[in-house]
């Protein structure tokens, strides 16, 4: 019951965030000094006044501003994000056609980073030895190196030096390996640092000592007790990164020439294709709101102390 009520408020708050994102995006675009008609027809072509009026009427641009806004919000609610100025396809179909590729990339990258971080944490938490120093240094490299640079290095070695993986494009699983590795390595450092810090703290707690007095090995205490404590902050970071990747793995997609949301966003901004930009803004707001709600629910699964408070 408490959970249902909590969920309801969270959904309501989520809707408010989406509405705010939509309104803000609408206002910003009104302030841009570009002429939609020029965008639709291309900068070079000359447009007669009659054609201009017709286009304006087609896209609803002749309406007063509040009407445009109301129409925009109304259509958005029904899931209609409008039509691209450039591609003459609905924004929804543009996003969904590119979405699968991005989701695959983001999910695999987060999964890779998470697995590496869990292994690194289990191997090094609560210890002070050479392995910990090596892994800590690797994390530092991961955190401080920009993703595109990691991508370029991987390409240099695994596509050009030893042509194991394709350089660009979308050719099945082989072309996924390097982009996933790029993003996974970039995320791994932060995730692993946070998890180990948390696990170090958990291992200092009296319950870890209690577990050891039951005859558990240090490894078993990490695996059976401390790991769950380390999951709490890791969940936050992984979820936020997943959201950020969905909406904007722009650079990585660009480096590896992959299709995806990043690419269409870049195109849309460059071409001032306003409906697509708005669509992407709304889509990423939607993704973040959804992920936040899911993560909040997951916290309760991991940490029973949070269930009581709701």
Residues that bind other proteins (CB under 8 A): 205-207, 209-217, 220, 224-225, 228-229, 302-305, 308
Residue number with CB closer to other proteins (270 or 305): 305
Residue number with CB closer to other proteins (113 or 234): 234
Minimum CB–partner distance for residue 247 and other proteins (Å): 32
CA angle, 14 then 18 then 19, to 5°: 115
User: How far apart are alpha carbons 205 and 194 in whole angstroms?
Assistant: 17
Instruction: Identify which of 105, 59, 98 has the alpha carbon closest to the alpha carbon of residue 82.
Output: 59
Minimum CB–partner distance for residue 193 and other proteins (Å): 21
Minimum CB–partner distance for residue 175 and other proteins (Å): 41
Minimum CB–partner distance for residue 221 and other proteins (Å): 10
Residue number with CB closer to other proteins (2 or 32): 2
Strand partners, 239: none
Residue number with CB closer to other proteins (156 or 217): 217
Strand partners, 83: 90
Minimum CB–partner distance for residue 117 and other proteins (Å): 19
Minimum CB–partner distance for residue 131 and other proteins (Å): 15
Query: Residues of 238-275 as b/e, b for ≥16 C-beta within 10 angstroms?
Result: bbebbbbbbbbbbbbbebbebbbbbbbbebbeebbbbb
Residue number with CB closer to other proteins (229 or 258): 229
Minimum CB–partner distance for residue 190 and other proteins (Å): 23
3-class secondary-structure state, position 17: helix
Minimum CB–partner distance for residue 309 and other proteins (Å): 10
User: How far apart are alpha carbons 107 and 109 in whole angstroms?
Assistant: 5
Residue number with CB closer to other proteins (89 or 224): 224
Residue number with CB closer to other proteins (33 or 206): 206
Residue number with CB closer to other proteins (13 or 297): 297
């Amino acid at each position: 019951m408490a959970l249902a009520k909590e969920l309801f408020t969270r959904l309501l708050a989520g809707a408010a965030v989406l509405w705010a994102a939509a309104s803000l995006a609408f206002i910003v675009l009104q302030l841009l000094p570009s002429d939609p008609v020029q965008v639709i027809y291309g900068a070079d072509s000359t447009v007669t006044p009659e054609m201009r009026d017709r286009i304006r009427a087609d896209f609803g641009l002749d309406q007063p501003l509040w009407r445009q806004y109301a129409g925009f919000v109304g259509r958005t609610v029904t899931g209609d994000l409008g039509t691209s100025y450039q591609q003459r396809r609905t924004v929804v179909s543009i996003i969904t056609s590119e979405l699968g590729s991005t989701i695959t990339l983001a999910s695999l990258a987060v999964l890779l980073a998470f697995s590496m971080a869990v292994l690194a944490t289990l191997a090094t938490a609560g210890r002070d030895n050479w392995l910990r120093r090596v892994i800590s240094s690797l994390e530092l490299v991961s955190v401080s190196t920009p993703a595109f640079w990691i991508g370029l290095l991987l390409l240099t070695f695994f596509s050009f030096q030893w042509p194991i993986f394709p350089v660009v494009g979308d050719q099945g699983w082989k072309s996924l390996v390097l982009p996933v590795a790029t993003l996974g390595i970039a995320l791994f450092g932060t995730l692993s640092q946070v998890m180990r810090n948390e696990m170090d703290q958990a291992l200092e707690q009296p319950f870890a000592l209690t577990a050891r007095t039951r005859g558990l090995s240090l490894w078993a205490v990490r695996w059976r007790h401390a790991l769950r404590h380390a999951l709490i902050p890791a969940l936050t970071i992984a979820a936020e990164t997943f959201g950020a990747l969905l909406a904007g793995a722009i650079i990585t997609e660009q480096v590896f020439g992959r299709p995806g949301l990043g690419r269409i966003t870049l195109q849309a901004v460059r071409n001032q294709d306003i409906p697509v930009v708005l669509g992407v803004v709304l889509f990423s707001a939607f993704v973040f709101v959804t992920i936040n709600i899911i993560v909040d629910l997951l916290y309760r699964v991991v940490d029973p102390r949070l269930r009581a408070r709701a």
